[in-house]
């Protein structure tokens, strides 16, 4: 059965089908390094922590890394393999830790050549960097594990799950057509899709981490405190900020700036591309940064101030903003596996006529329980 994985700066989300249902595994994209001491490994084994030992250092990965950082107060040993949507160039253990985390989420393929679709960002606009290194490292890691790897843009994953539909002037309804935006931790990714094909993609290296950094700096507060307030709906809502609370004020300003900056970049890029779209396009948005209560309202408010070269249709939030991208990767993987299965079925028939056994391992069964893209 095919799998999907959304590889993000803050969280990794795995998606697969079990007993006919979509099942998600969420893991924090982080690790904690500590010196190897007597019995440390035995204790970690007993508590079923995910870790790796190298020389005299133990690396604990995922959610447990945050727990260790909080228990010990050693923030500097709490590290992240990714920054701004890609492998963290300043982190020497980035590749090995990300591999360990990915293995923990996906496990081994059920059969050799099982399809997995993994998400990557688009190259950030206006920056002298690209996604090639990040993409190839992920591709190789999953291939080494025995998967048939498909890579897709994370915002396109959103289009596959949410299925925005464009209505043309002659009344035709065109599925999987619209604008998808994923507001993550390290980046914001946007695609424009038409009939499930990516017309173009952009990303900006700003997301939830950027909001936390800016607010912490402007209000002279620890970043972890800002993050905790931002993520707690009892302490902050974007639709009801307390005007007398200086952190609330700063959060509101930077959320607005993140949305405005993304949409202005998008508008400028679209103008330059000379694309012509006369029919209205729907927007679907997702990502952890969009999960704050009131985000959709703020997004619509800012969108109304931006001049776009096409009419805007409906604007909505994904049903599950934190899992929508992983769910879309799963849709892509299943669809690819179905195609592969059909091909090998036809191949089998042809070869069967010749009385030959098809090499290459077992063929997956037809997937009846696959989710129909929602929308």
Residues of this chain that interact with ligand ATP (CB under 6 A) are 8-11, 85, 154, 182, 184-187, 207-209, 227, 230-231, 287-289, 291-292, 322
Nearer to ligand ATP, 93 or 231 (CB): 231
From 36-44, 62-70, 181-189, 304-312, give the range in contact with Mg ion by CB under 5 A. Answer: 181-189
62 binds Mg ion (CB under 5 A): no
Q: Which of helix, strand or coil describes residue 119?
A: strand
Contact between 313 and Mg ion by CB under 5 A: the answer reads: no
Q: Provide, rounded to whole angstroms, the least separation between the CB of residue 360 and ligand ATP.
A: 34
Q: Which is nearer to ligand ATP, 8 or 313 (CB)?
A: 8
Q: Which does 292 bind (CB under 5 to 8 A by kind): Mg ion, ligand ATP, none?
A: ligand ATP
**CA quadruple 312, 271, 188, 291: dihedral, nearest 10:** -10
Taking every pair of C-alpha atoms in the chain, what is the biggest distance, in angstroms? Answer: 80
d(CA 364, CA 375): 27
| Angle formed at CA 103 by CA 101 and CA 109, multiple of 5 degrees | 155
The option from ligand ATP, Mg ion, none interacting with 186 (CB < 5 to 8 A, set by class) reads ligand ATP
Minimum separation from the CB atom of position 9 to ligand ATP (A):
3
Phi, psi of 181 (to 5 degrees): -130, 125
Which one among 62, 184, 364, 373 touches Mg ion, defined by CB under 5 A?
184
Dihedral (C-alpha) 107, 113, 117, 118: value to the nearest 10 degrees? Answer: 60
Contact between 164 and Mg ion (CB under 5 A)? no
CB of residue 201 vs ligand ATP: minimum separation in angstroms?
13
Nearer to Mg ion by Cβ, of 182 and 265: the residue is 182
CA nearest to 75, candidates 228, 224, 214: 224
Q: How far is the CB of 146 from ligand ATP (least distance, A)?
A: 25
Task: Fill in the DSSP letter of residue 37.
Answer: -
Can you tell me which of 2, 5, 8, 78 binds Mg ion, judged by CB under 5 A? Answer: 8
Tell me whether residue 6 or residue 16 sits nearer to ligand ATP (CB atom). Answer: 6
207 binds Mg ion (CB under 5 A): no
Q: Which residue is nearest to ligand ATP (CB)?
A: 208
Strands (DSSP E) found in 287-363:
312-317
Pick 87 or 166: Cβ nearer ligand ATP: 87
Strands 178-183 and 281-286: parallel
**CA neighbor of 253 nearest in space, from 238, 268, 266, 263:** 238
The Cα–Cα gap between 98 and 105 comes to 11
| Residue 30 to residue 82: CA distance in whole angstroms | 8
Least distance in Å: CB of 83 to ligand ATP?
Answer: 9
Contact 124, 84 (CB under 8 A): yes
Which residue, 8 or 178, is less far from Mg ion as judged by CB?
8
- If the CB atoms of residues 7 and 215 are measured against Mg ion, the closer one turns out to be 7
> Residue 364 is encoded by which pair of tokens?
């997956």
85 binds, among Mg ion, ligand ATP, none (CB under 5 to 8 A by kind): ligand ATP
Measured from the CB of residue 286, what is the shortest distance to Mg ion in angstroms? 9
Cα–Cα distance measured from residue 29 to residue 186, given in angstroms and rounded to the nearest whole number: 12
Q: How many helices (H) and strands (E) does the chain have?
A: 10, 18
- Please give the sequence-ordered ranges of beta strands (E in DSSP) within 121-263, or none if there are none: 148-153, 166-167, 173-174, 178-183, 188-194, 197-204
d(CA 149, CA 267): 33
Piece of the chain touching Mg ion by CB under 5 A; list 180-188, 296-304, 332-340, 360-368: 180-188
Helix (H) or strand (E) holding 60: strand 57-61
Stretch that binds Mg ion, among 91-99, 140-148, 183-191, 337-345 (CB under 5 A): 183-191
- In whole angstroms, the minimum distance from the beta carbon of 14 to ligand ATP comes to 13
Residue 41 interacts with, from Mg ion, ligand ATP, none (CB under 5-8 Å by kind): none
| CB of 279 or CB of 320, closer to Mg ion | 320
Q: Which is nearer to Mg ion, 287 or 364 (CB)?
A: 287
In the complex, least distance from residue 325 CB atom to Mg ion, rounded to whole angstroms: 6
Verify binding: residue 288, Mg ion, rule CB under 5 A. no
């Amino acid at each position: 059965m095919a799998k999907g994985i959304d590889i993000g700066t803050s969280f990794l989300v795995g998606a697969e089908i079990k007993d006919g249902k979509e099942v998600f595994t969420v893991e924090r994209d982080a690790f904690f390094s500590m010196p190897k001491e007597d019995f440390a490994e035995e204790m970690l084994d007993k508590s079923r922590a995910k870790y790796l030992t190298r020389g005299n250092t133990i690396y604990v990965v995922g959610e447990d890394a945050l727990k260790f950082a909080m228990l010990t107060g050693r923030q500097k040993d709490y590290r992240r393999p990714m920054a701004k949507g890609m492998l963290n160039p300043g982190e020497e253990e980035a590749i090995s830790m990300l591999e360990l985390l990915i293995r923990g989420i996906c496990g081994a393929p059920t059969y050799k050549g099982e399809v997995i679709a993994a998400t990557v960002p688009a190259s950030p606009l206006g920056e002298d960097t690209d996604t090639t290194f990040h993409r190839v490292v992920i591709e190789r890691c999953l291939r080494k594990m025995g998967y048939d790897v498909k890579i897709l843009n994370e915002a396109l994953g959103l289009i596959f799950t949410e299925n925005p539909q464009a209505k043309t002037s002659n009344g035709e309804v065109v599925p999987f057509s619209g604008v998808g935006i994923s507001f993550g931790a390290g980046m914001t990714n946007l695609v424009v899709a038409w009939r499930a094909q990516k017309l173009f993609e952009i990303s900006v290296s700003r997301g939830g981490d950027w909001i936390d950094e800016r607010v912490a700096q402007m209000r002279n507060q620890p970043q972890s405190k800002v993050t905790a307030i931002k993520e707690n709906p009892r302490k902050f809502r974007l639709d009801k900020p307390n005007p007398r609370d200086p952190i609330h004020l700063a959060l509101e300003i930077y959320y607005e700036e993140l949305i405005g900056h993304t949409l202005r970049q998008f508008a400028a890029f679209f103008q330059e591309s000379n694309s012509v779209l006369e029919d209205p396009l729907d927007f679907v948005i997702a990502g952890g940064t969009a999960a704050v209560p009131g985000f959709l309202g703020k997004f619509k408010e800012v969108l109304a101030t931006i001049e776009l070269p096409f009419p805007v249709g409906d604007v909505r939030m994904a049903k599950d903003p934190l899992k929508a991208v992983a769910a879309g990767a799963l849709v892509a993987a299943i669809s690819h596996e179905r195609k592969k299965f059909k091909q090998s079925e036809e191949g089998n028939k042809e070869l069967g006529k010749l009385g030959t056994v098809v090499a290459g391992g077992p063929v997956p069964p037809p997937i009846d329980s696959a989710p129909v893209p929602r929308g």
